[in-house]
Structure 1
Amino acid sequence: MSERTPTDPTPPALREDVRLQDRPMRPVACSACGAEVAVRKSSPEQTSIQWSAPALRRCHERSALRPTSDRPNRQAFDGCSALRDTVLEAAARGQLEVLADAAPTTPPARPR
């Protein structure tokens, strides 16, 4: 195996991230306020959520958040408990796929 030297101008090959192409995020609407977000549940423990501006405005828990600081980026929003429950219920009912439970989309590497 050849090693790269600090003067080697060739960057290492990067693999394209196709996870969202294979298994895209799915819309889920909060059962409490109706805010619709995009969700991808990679495992029982890991959930990715993309909030849109309309969903952030519609979320009851987000709108009830009071600033804790005047400094930028200090007003953390840990998430909405009602939306968290909605996502868990959707996964339990099979309406939202938990990818760790799904069959792999690419074959495993063959041993040499």
Structure 2
Amino acid sequence: MQPLACRSCGNTVLVAKSSLAHTSVQWADSSRCVEFALAGSLTERAVVSGCTALRASIEDAVRAGRIEVPAE
């Protein structure tokens, strides 16, 4: 897994790409994420499908070659 900071909130997560379609994200602290903070409680955060700003940050990092994607 590779560290990546969200360009929106600056929160750092660990990211692994198994393919272009599959991404694993490990959060150390979701409390800094604006989208998760809007959900409120930990229970409500559990049903949030993800953070669009982080998704965009990951996609940009893949395009720039900062996140490795294994050859399929």
TM-score grouping bracket, smaller chain normalisation = 0.7 to 0.9
Q: 2:64 aligns with which of 89, 93, 97?
A: 93
What is the match of residue 61 of structure 1? 35
Q: Percent identity?
A: 41
Count of residues in correspondence between the two structures: 71
Taking structure 1 as the reference length, the TM-score comes to 0.57
Q: Which structure shows the higher strand fraction?
A: 2
Q: Which structure shows the higher helix fraction?
A: 2
Q: Cα 1:98–1:57, aligned 2, differ >3 Å: closer, same or farther?
A: same
Which portions of structure 1, spanning 4 or more consecutive aligned residues, are displaced by more than 4 angstroms?
A: 72-75
CA RMSD of aligned residues (A): 2.0
Larger Rg: 1
What is the match of residue 78 of structure 1? 49
Q: 1:35 aligns with which of 3, 11, 14?
A: 11
Equivalent position amino acid for 1:45 in 2 = A
**Offset, 1:42:** 1.1
Q: Cα 1:61–1:40, aligned 2, differ >3 Å: closer, same or farther?
A: same
Partners of 1:74 and 1:28 lie apart in 2 by 21
The structure whose RCO (Cα within 8 Å, separation 6+) is larger is 2
Taking structure 2 as the reference length, the TM-score comes to 0.87
Q: Cα 1:31–1:43, aligned 2, differ >3 Å: closer, same or farther?
A: same
